């Protein structure tokens, strides 16, 4: 959770910034840099899981401020992370 909140999650953009990978491009969609925002809200490869998350938390909570901080939403966020098998 802390890694997602701070942007230090093991996603391509962060790994590229610390010189661990050669490209910041998302390995799942291969279209955009894989930032925390991209991973949670934009990546087309995770659309099915994101739609499930949206149904659980509601459209109004599909934003970083809510999803990464509201205690009641964290179990759904962690389920999304688990389902995407990205970490």
CB under 8 A, 24+ apart: contacts of 38-43 = 38/11, 38/13, 39/9, 39/11, 39/84, 39/86, 40/4, 40/64, 40/67, 40/80
Q: Are 16 and 23 in contact (CB under 8 A)?
A: yes
pLDDT tier for residue 27 given thresholds of 50, 70 and 90 = very high
pTM: 0.95
Average pLDDT over residues 12-35: 98
Question: For the segment 35-85, what is each residue's pLDDT rounded down to a tens digit?
Answer: 999 999 999 999 999 999 999 999 999 999 999 999 999 999 999 999 999
């Amino acid at each position: 959770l802390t890694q997602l909140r701070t942007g230090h999650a093991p996603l391509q953009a962060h790994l590229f910034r610390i010189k661990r990978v050669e490209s910041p491009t998302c390995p799942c969609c291969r279209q955009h840099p894989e930032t925390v925002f991209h991973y949670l809200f934009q990546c087309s490869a995770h659309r099915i899981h994101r739609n499930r998350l949206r149904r659980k938390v509601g459209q109004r909570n599909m934003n970083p401020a809510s999803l990464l901080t509201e205690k009641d939403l964290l179990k759904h966020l962690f389920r999304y992370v688990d389902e995407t098998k990205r970490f």
